[in-house]
Structure 1
Amino acid sequence: MKIVRLLTAAAIACGCWIPQAGASDEWVPVREVSLEVKAASPLDFSAFLPNGPIDAGHRLVAGAGGRLAYATSPEEPVRMFCASLAWSPASGGFPDHAGADRYARQLALRGYNIARLHFTDASLMHDRQKDFDFDPETLDRIHYLLAALKRNGIYWIIDGLSSSRGAYGGYDDRWEAGGDLKLRLHLDEEAFEHWKTLQEKFLAKINPYTGIAPIRDHALALIILANENGIEFDSVVHERPGKPHYDETLAAPFNRWLAKRYQTTDALARAWGELGDDERLAAGTVRLPTERYTDLARMRDLQAFFIETERASVARMSKVLRDLGYRGLISSYNNWPTVQTGLSRRELEAVTMNTYHDWVGGYAPGSALLQASSMENSANYMRMAAAARWFGKPFIVSEYDHLFWNRYRYEAGLVMPAYAALQGWDALCRHGHGPIVLAYGEPYPHKRAMLPYAIALDPVARAGETLAALIYRRGDVAESGIAVPFVVRGKQDLSEDMQAREPERLTDLALVGRIGLLQAVNSDGETEVGQPRPDGAWNVMKDLRSSGRLPQGNRTDIERGLYESDTGQLLLDRTSGQLRVSTPATEAAAFSSLRQPVDLGTLRIEQADGNALVALSAIDGGNALTKSRRLLLIFATDAQNTGMVFRDSEERIIEDFGSLPVLIRKGQVALALSRTAGTWRVSPIGLDGTVYPPVRAGTGAVTFRLSNDTPYGPTTYFLVELDDG
């Protein structure tokens, strides 16, 4: 039951929205207004996740094995926990100086050590009529924020281009995909010069608050040349009914590429097996495919053309940055995990990837999602990202989310950070306008209610980010000792299917050990996924078991949808909709149902009255759960806005997002710890870190039933304290 539902066809006919009887008893309004975490509170992780100085010795580089590391210690990988800063006027824009200081400090307290600035070009050009006429106040605020982040030990990732309008004046759709600049960057000299000038005027200009241009600052760890700028993806974004799938501006360069490869029309006809009577290489009249979903030899060659074009663009754009003095890492093509884009990414210095579960395309009434658990497809959004990695290069998830209003989104706080740690990924960034806000009630359109991509307002997403700081950045989940390369030969791996990607039947291996792409080499004795791709992962699993690389007793059973990591710390059960994590410092479970108790080691979940995330972590230094006296308990259910309205009973289609205050779904859970104590107590923690008086206490065995609806308001956090007898 929810706050408001459209219950019947009769209600639709009469235009009436009928509230669910009794629903208000199941949802409780959040009481906090300020969301600034108090220093030294249980939600302040800076004591054990400190951010150090950013200087020449601590510049981030591709270290041993292609892992992110500090310049002075390249043999020691570092994990970067990323804050997504994708502000716009609708979400309040960049903060003033005092706000930036408070915001950067809060990020550091919560465990973030890198931030991604996204759509800075759009913010700089908002309401500007002339090319490159940056808004001076916005530029000043960005410069000050960069300095504030650096002072707090937080590195930067910056897009060279986010908006398809770039820095052209006179546009009011800068956060939409209406422009063609991303495509023209590959084809048009004017577009390339525009991008180059943008880097010169923004990244290469002195920041008055640091005394150095961002492009030469040790804090700038990564530049994404242009966000989501693959040619195929851009054509999908611009696909419209009745319109050719591929822009006609591609025709001439494609013809030139074909002429260079085949030289004669007859040779092209033999290779394709089909060619129109009016198609001639010499005349440049060979047509683009009419649509992308028909598998043809023509489509295979179009992919090869895209690869060469995209690689050339990266080389050219990278040279611009190097000539401007940039020493950090460079990436591009950070989405679309197809075979073609994988080959385009092969030459990058670092690989970046965006991935989503239950993606939502907008905020307008009628926007829809599937309302499905990520367990139903064995965390496929994570596995797609894993299959885009290239071994030997830093791998950064530049965007991910399990989007609001999906009722299973508590899963994201366990699924992505746990498997990112298992895979040994270098940086993890949950996408949003910002990962935190300083207070509820800001007067901006995107701050008046929880929305997709607005994780800062969502107590469920915030609980997940809190857990991610522990299991990912702190390293509670261990990296897998297994690496299974997916062998890549080159363009001969292309098929006639433009949408071909690594098969899901094989990416299941990411739930057991590390996977990634690797250039074909003579790898006798190695367990690998070869070309052509096999029909399933059984032979790989058999080899891992027989070689002893997978421990005896590993419970993975692909047919049953049961996957245990080689470390023994992660267990995903697709049938029951559960992910369990058991490590020395954190134990957790995300479950869509709890038919029987879940024993995680120290923590046993006896009962729960609904789907939820439950996690227990040691927070007094490096102690394990078996010894720690202060434990952070996370209990996250669901949250909605007040007065949300849906068009259907399954709550897939939104009619009205409602407004603040945020409402948390009431839940109860029965827990037991395999520990005894002279005395123990369980105290609610407010969303701002305030510790309230205990709601449960006892002596001896630690066992209790807990509600997230406390006398001090609903929460997702509790402090468990144990004293020796």
Structure 2
Amino acid sequence: MKAAATAALLLSLLPGIAGAQEWLPVREVSLEVAPGSPLDFSAFLPNPSIAETGSIVTTPDGRLSFQATPDKPERLLCASLAWSPASGGFPDHDTADRYAKQLAMHGYNIARFHFADAALMADRARDFDFDPEVLDRFHYLLAALKRNGIYWIMDGLSSWRGAYGGYEDRWDPSSDIKLKLHLDPATFEHWKMLQERILGSVNPYTKKRVIEDEALALVVLANENGIEFDSIVRERGHPHYDEALRAPFNAWLKGKYQTTRALAEAWPDLKSGERIENGSVELPPDRYNDSPRIRDLQAFFVEVETKTAEEMSSFLRGLGYRGEISTYNNWPTIQTGLSRQNLQAVTMNTYQDWVGSYMPGAKLEQASSIADGANYMRMIAAARWIGRPFIVTEYDHLFWSRYRYEAGLVMPSYAALQGWDVLCRHGHGPIVLAYGEPFPHKRQMLPYAIALDPIARASETIAALTYRRGDVKTASMQIPFAVSGTEDLTEDAQAREPENLTALALVTGIGLQAQAKMDGKIFVGQPRQSNSFGAVFNALRETGVVTAQNGTDAEAGRFESATGEILLDERAGQLRLSTALTEGAAFSTLRDPLELGALTIAQADGNAMVAVSVLDDAASIAESKKLLLVFATDARNTGMRFRDRDEKIIENFGTLPVLIRKGSVDIQLKGMEGPWRISPVGLDGKVHKPIAEGSDELAAEISNDTPSGPTTFFLIER
């Protein structure tokens, strides 16, 4: 009680906070979900034995499936395991068993290992001198996940220090190793040794080499290793492009233009002293100053990146790997799209309201993803290559954004609509077993610490249902964006697919496809400015892909999916989802009741995400006798402080306990007649005493300020 009172006093003094009484301290400490609780999804989202389902393979139409059922696409919900010593590192054996079991209960069926190289090399002085205890825990966790039916995604390299010894900045963009992978044979040899030592090792707990284990579904050759992006990350006041690029770029120019005279005809800004013949052509001095020089540099990047990916992939195949391979998993530009053209699978990272630091002064924009038409989703939708698996290796709507409740409906719903294969919300672990672990990054909620955030956890809970269970349908059609080749490059190094055209992803599937494969169907051609959203949408309507009743009005910022299940309204700040098994809405305003089908959200006292989802074997919400109600408002740390009234700039993240913003919502469920009851469900899955009961059609005011403490979950029974 003393801690809660102190927190209330601190919060009352903060600018921009409506009042201390609006923030309620979380009471749970243990977050382990008991078997059979409403948050245990293993009964209807079981993870079959990997020994029986076999490896992950690709269907003829480019979807991921199990080897045992090769014609049945699978949706894989991914647990991001980006552990470091600051977040606790790899768990001991007992904890790994408990953790893997909990992941399966929460609905995860694949996990991504990120920065494992950094963890293995932390505090090590010699190259490849992996910490033996960390290596043992790493191997044991792999086995524990496999026993629980959870597949693996591996980064071939995450850390900018690789497996070089003697460094303490392994999680920082502190070296040029990702650039040198493309240019320097010695660095490439280092990467190859890293694969041999980690992936090529025999796991003593599975008795198999990691690289040959059927649980290994995907290897990302190196995380976020595009040359342009890596150059931006490492600018830090230095020239925009590394001088190491100059000689190979000059060699490439000589191969293309042959003579300086020919180059001068293509580049109006070629200086008098620059000559191909002696390799004196300079790199662009400013990546943001569009020019033919920039365009050619992008074409050079495409050639180098394509060749490097092929060489790295060939090495893994030589080691015995037979699973999926990808790389260049971020930066959705025209250039990087071309570099991904020959990959077996496409992987992408994307963020809404990105945060780059945990230090005081870190900033986000408090931006709604609904207000900009889910642009962070559309950017990567336009990076997909049709006919190949698509894996979201990282996404998040980051803490401390007051709009992050949107992520629970926005990204999983559209990932399902697009038919994406893997969805991974990024963080150092999607769950924790308890609050209060004694590690620096577990002492309070932080960006990328989704396990501690009740709002992010509520979103992941909905994702398990809407995305993995398949509540949201995949669109029946994908609109190809025609790609010719490097001739599509512009003089803008940051050029992406136009936002007015990526808005098509709010209606149906989209992706890239080679121009030569166009066969007269509906597509977005080159040049892009010759296309319009309205023309493509009208073609969809004429062919019957969307019905005459579809409510899309791009000018009004209103987009309805071709399936009729998703409606995004930018101006109202609302996303509505209506499926047989899940209905819900994320809203910044609620001026009028939202009728979603069975569920009506009559009113709410603030912005939130509200959803109901079937937990039994009923075919619809109206027929269900057991529903999960999710009500997510906002959460923050005790004593959290900002530098500004708009709460964009952090001063102090504060401490535990987590505080949930008090809120209430009025709901009605058509066709659900009594007797019924609504019970709070703790963040640990425990069902508490009912807070509402009735005998007529269900209508109730729900407050997250329950006698058992604040929560985001409620159980509806009848």
Normalising by structure 2, we get a TM-score of 0.97
- Return the alpha-carbon distance in structure 2 between the equivalents of residues 153 and 522 of structure 1: 38
Equivalent position amino acid for 2:335 in 1: Q
Moved over 4 A (4+): 2-7, 17-22
1:170 matches 2:176: no
- Return the alpha-carbon distance in structure 1 between the equivalents of residues 111 and 352 of structure 2: 22
Q: Cα offset for 1:20?
A: 7.5
Q: Cα offset for 1:579?
A: 0.2
- Return the alpha-carbon distance in structure 2 between the equivalents of residues 394 and 362 of structure 1: 32
Q: Cα offset for 1:676?
A: 3.9
- CA change 1:19–1:312 in 2 (3 A) is closer
The secondary structure found in structure 1 opposite 2:513 is: strand
- Return the alpha-carbon distance in structure 2 between the equivalents of residues 344 and 5 of structure 1: 51
Q: Matches of residues 617-628 of structure 1 in structure 2 within 5 Å?
A: 617-628=613-624
Q: Which residue matches 1:13?
A: none
- The one of 568, 571, 588 aligned to 1:575: 571
Q: Cα offset for 1:3?
A: 6.5
Tell which deviates more after alignment, 668-677 or 142-151: 668-677
Q: Which residue matches 1:544?
A: 540
1:511 matches 2:487: no
1:119 matches 2:138: no
Q: Which residue matches 2:358?
A: 363
Q: Matches of residues 445-460 of structure 1 in structure 2 within 5 Å?
A: 445-460=440-455
- The one of 583, 587, 590 aligned to 1:594: 590
- Return the alpha-carbon distance in structure 2 between the equivalents of residues 612 and 644 of structure 1: 21
Is the Cα–Cα contact under 8 Å of residues 4 and 646 in structure 1 kept in the other structure? Answer: no
Tell which deviates more after alignment, 58-67 or 560-569: 58-67
Q: Which residue matches 1:200?
A: 196
Equivalent position amino acid for 2:328 in 1: Y
Which deviations, in whole Å up to 9, do the C-alpha atoms of 1:118-159 show, x marking residues without a partner?
A: 000000000000000000000000000000000000000000
- The one of 670, 673, 680 aligned to 2:669: 673
Q: Matches of residues 56-455 of structure 1 in structure 2 within 5 Å?
A: 57-241=53-237, 243-455=238-450
Is the Cα–Cα contact under 8 Å of residues 611 and 637 in structure 1 kept in the other structure? Answer: yes
- Return the alpha-carbon distance in structure 2 between the equivalents of residues 676 and 548 of structure 1: 34
- The one of 14, 28, 31 aligned to 1:35: 31
- CA change 1:22–1:261 in 2 (3 A) is closer
- Return the alpha-carbon distance in structure 2 between the equivalents of residues 221 and 22 of structure 1: 48
Is the Cα–Cα contact under 8 Å of residues 11 and 639 in structure 2 kept in the other structure? Answer: no
Is the Cα–Cα contact under 8 Å of residues 676 and 699 in structure 1 kept in the other structure? Answer: no
- The one of 699, 710, 713 aligned to 1:717: 713
The secondary structure found in structure 2 opposite 1:675 is: coil
Q: Cα offset for 1:272?
A: 1.7
Is the Cα–Cα contact under 8 Å of residues 586 and 618 in structure 1 kept in the other structure? Answer: yes
Tell which deviates more after alignment, 439-448 or 614-623: 614-623
- CA change 1:3–1:294 in 2 (3 A) is farther
Q: Cα offset for 1:179?
A: 1.1
Q: Which residue matches 1:49?
A: 45
Equivalent position amino acid for 2:365 in 1: L
Equivalent position amino acid for 1:202 in 2: I
Is the Cα–Cα contact under 8 Å of residues 345 and 388 in structure 2 kept in the other structure? Answer: yes
Q: Cα offset for 1:525?
A: 3.7
- Return the alpha-carbon distance in structure 1 between the equivalents of residues 380 and 202 of structure 2: 36
The secondary structure found in structure 2 opposite 1:498 is: coil
- Return the alpha-carbon distance in structure 2 between the equivalents of residues 274 and 66 of structure 1: 44
Is the Cα–Cα contact under 8 Å of residues 45 and 111 in structure 1 kept in the other structure? Answer: yes
Normalising by structure 1, we get a TM-score of 0.97
Tell which deviates more after alignment, 688-697 or 276-285: 276-285
Q: Cα offset for 1:238?
A: 0.8
Tell which deviates more after alignment, 671-680 or 504-513: 671-680
Is the Cα–Cα contact under 8 Å of residues 54 and 218 in structure 1 kept in the other structure? Answer: yes
Which deviations, in whole Å up to 9, do the C-alpha atoms of 1:624-658 show, x marking residues without a partner?
A: 11211000000000000000000000100000000
- CA change 1:598–1:135 in 2 (3 A) is same
Is the Cα–Cα contact under 8 Å of residues 5 and 20 in structure 1 kept in the other structure? Answer: no
- Return the alpha-carbon distance in structure 2 between the equivalents of residues 5 and 57 of structure 1: 53
Equivalent position amino acid for 2:384 in 1: R
Q: Which residue matches 1:461?
A: 456
Q: Cα offset for 1:536?
A: 2.9
- Return the alpha-carbon distance in structure 1 between the equivalents of residues 9 and 357 of structure 2: 21
Is the Cα–Cα contact under 8 Å of residues 11 and 17 in structure 2 kept in the other structure? Answer: no
Which deviations, in whole Å up to 9, do the C-alpha atoms of 1:564-593 show, x marking residues without a partner?
A: 000000000001000000000000100001
1:692 matches 2:695: no
The secondary structure found in structure 2 opposite 1:312 is: helix
Which deviations, in whole Å up to 9, do the C-alpha atoms of 1:281-307 show, x marking residues without a partner?
A: 111111111110111111111001000
- Return the alpha-carbon distance in structure 1 between the equivalents of residues 27 and 157 of structure 2: 39
Alignment gaps of 5+ in structure 1: 8-16
Tell which deviates more after alignment, 95-104 or 259-268: 259-268
Is the Cα–Cα contact under 8 Å of residues 16 and 647 in structure 2 kept in the other structure? Answer: no
Is the Cα–Cα contact under 8 Å of residues 4 and 18 in structure 1 kept in the other structure? Answer: no
Q: Which residue matches 1:604?
A: 600
Q: Which residue matches 1:14?
A: none
- CA change 1:683–1:57 in 2 (3 A) is closer
Q: Cα offset for 1:363?
A: 0.5
- CA change 1:6–1:461 in 2 (3 A) is closer
- CA change 1:650–1:576 in 2 (3 A) is same
Q: Which residue matches 1:502?
A: 497
Which deviations, in whole Å up to 9, do the C-alpha atoms of 1:52-92 show, x marking residues without a partner?
A: 11137521011121100112322210000000000000000
Is the Cα–Cα contact under 8 Å of residues 91 and 137 in structure 2 kept in the other structure? Answer: yes
Is the Cα–Cα contact under 8 Å of residues 5 and 648 in structure 1 kept in the other structure? Answer: no
The secondary structure found in structure 2 opposite 1:76 is: coil
Q: Cα offset for 1:23?
A: 2.2
The secondary structure found in structure 2 opposite 1:487 is: strand
Q: Which residue matches 1:652?
A: 648
Which deviations, in whole Å up to 9, do the C-alpha atoms of 1:104-127 show, x marking residues without a partner?
A: 000000000000000000000000
Identity %: 63
The secondary structure found in structure 2 opposite 1:376 is: coil
Which deviations, in whole Å up to 9, do the C-alpha atoms of 1:151-175 show, x marking residues without a partner?
A: 0000000000000100000100000
- Return the alpha-carbon distance in structure 2 between the equivalents of residues 230 and 684 of structure 1: 47
- Return the alpha-carbon distance in structure 2 between the equivalents of residues 522 and 171 of structure 1: 49
- CA change 1:4–1:637 in 2 (3 A) is farther
Is the Cα–Cα contact under 8 Å of residues 11 and 640 in structure 2 kept in the other structure? Answer: no
Equivalent position amino acid for 2:361 in 1: G
The secondary structure found in structure 2 opposite 1:613 is: strand
- Return the alpha-carbon distance in structure 2 between the equivalents of residues 32 and 462 of structure 1: 14
Q: Which residue matches 1:640?
A: 636
- Return the alpha-carbon distance in structure 1 between the equivalents of residues 296 and 673 of structure 2: 69
The secondary structure found in structure 1 opposite 2:628 is: strand
- Return the alpha-carbon distance in structure 1 between the equivalents of residues 424 and 405 of structure 2: 16
Q: Which residue matches 1:708?
A: 704
Is the Cα–Cα contact under 8 Å of residues 9 and 20 in structure 2 kept in the other structure? Answer: no
- Return the alpha-carbon distance in structure 2 between the equivalents of residues 21 and 409 of structure 1: 17
Is the Cα–Cα contact under 8 Å of residues 424 and 514 in structure 1 kept in the other structure? Answer: yes
Is the Cα–Cα contact under 8 Å of residues 680 and 715 in structure 2 kept in the other structure? Answer: yes
- CA change 1:3–1:480 in 2 (3 A) is farther
Q: Cα offset for 1:385?
A: 1.0
- Return the alpha-carbon distance in structure 1 between the equivalents of residues 17 and 694 of structure 2: 38
- CA change 1:299–1:132 in 2 (3 A) is same
